[in-house]
């Protein structure tokens, strides 16, 4: 059974007319207001995290739970960003506020919360060709379960008039099928990735090729792709030189 938040999104998607004209441009200080809300959120979030860490160190689970329920800044800012999204409704400024809501409301069991579901529904219905919506498609597989994600992207795949948007949705669908589905879904993911790769769209085609490599070469039980490098003394080696032995690979970065 599809969760309620997914049904909210399906209802919004059902009324989509993708490829419609862009929302009306609006002059004003939307970007400034957005940045100010962001700064306030980060400030309060840092204070919250600092106090949370202190309580966590004490080891009192009840006190920690009470503090989180009373002082977590996310709910109040979800309301603040929703108010701004409503204020700028129908304009090109609304999507950045809607996107923030989708990205910051916690996900439960792979399902969006009510604020995020409503915000994403508005993005789908009124801002499907915005940069923010395309970014949402790219991020969905990292946050949502299979059923919820498919409920969002399938209508976009079927109805999108913009070629890039449709193939972005196909790439998203393939990713969630690969990561969240069983063997049958992985074969469907392969078909999605091949369609995107063969379309030859800049950026998307390369991403689809990378996903196909993951699907075909980086699954449990697959042969590990060979790695050719030099050790600290400049001596060349190949990972395949150690076939049959236990090897620990340590991937790291320095920021």
Q: Domain residue spans in the chain?
A: 1-11+20-150, 160-250
Q: Is residue 243 scored above 60 in pLDDT?
A: yes
Q: Is 91 helix (H, G, I), strand (E, B) or coil?
A: strand
**Helix, coil or strand: residue 152:** helix
Residue written as token pair 């913009």: 162
Task: Report pLDDT digits (tens) over 5-23.
Answer: 444 444 444 333 334 344 4
Summarised one tens digit per residue, pLDDT across range 38-48 is: 999 999 999 99
The whole-number pLDDT of residue 22 equals 40
Q: What average pLDDT score do residues 81-86 get?
A: 96
Nearest to residue 155, comparing CAs of 145, 164, 165? Answer: 165
Mean pLDDT score, 196-205: 96
Task: Please report which confidence band the pLDDT of residue 28 belongs to, taking 50, 70 and 90 as the band edges.
Answer: low
Mean pLDDT for the stretch of residues 118-145: 89
Distance CA 117, CA 82 (A): 12
pTM for the full predicted model: 0.72
Most confident of 41-45, 127-131, 139-143, 251-255: 41-45
Please state whether 231 falls in left (phi above 0), alpha (psi between -120 and 50) or beta: beta
pLDDT of res. 255: 64
Name, in order, each residue with C-beta under 8 angstroms of 94's C-beta and a sequence gap of 6 or more.
23, 85, 88, 122, 126, 127
Average pLDDT rounded to a whole number, residues 85-112: 93
Mean pLDDT of 138-145: 87
94-104 and 131-143 are packed helices; what angle lies between their axes, rounded to 10 degrees? Answer: 10
């Amino acid at each position: 059974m599809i969760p309620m938040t997914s049904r909210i999104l399906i209802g919004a998607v059902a009324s989509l007319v993708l490829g419609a004209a862009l929302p009306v441009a609006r002059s004003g200080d939307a970007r400034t207001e957005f940045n100010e809300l962001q700064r306030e959120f980060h400030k309060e979030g840092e204070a919250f995290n600092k106090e949370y860490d202190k309580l966590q160190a004490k080891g009192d689970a009840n006190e920690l739970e009470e503090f989180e329920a009373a002082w977590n800044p996310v709910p109040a800012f979800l309301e603040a960003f929703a108010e701004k999204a409503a204020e700028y409704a129908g304009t090109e400024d609304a999507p950045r506020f809607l996107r923030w809501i989708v990205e910051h409301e916690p996900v439960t069991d792979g399902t969006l919360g009510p604020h995020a579901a409503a915000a994403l529904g508005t993005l789908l219905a009124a801002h499907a060709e915005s940069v923010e919506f395309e970014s949402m498609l790219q991020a969905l597989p990292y946050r949502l379960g299979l059923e919820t994600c498919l409920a969002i992207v399938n209508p976009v795949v079927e109805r999108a008039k913009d070629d890039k948007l449709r193939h972005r949705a196909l790439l998203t669908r393939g990713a969630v099928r690969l990561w969240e589905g069983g063997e049958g879904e992985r074969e469907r993911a392969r078909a999605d990735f091949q369609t995107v790769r063969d379309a030859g769209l800049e950026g998307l085609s390369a991403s689809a090729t990378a996903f196909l490599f993951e699907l075909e070469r980086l699954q449990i039980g697959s042969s590990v792709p060979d790695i050719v490098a030099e050790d600290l003394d400049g001596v060349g080696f190949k990972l395949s030189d150690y076939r049959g032995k236990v090897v620990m690979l340590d991937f790291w970065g320095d920021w």
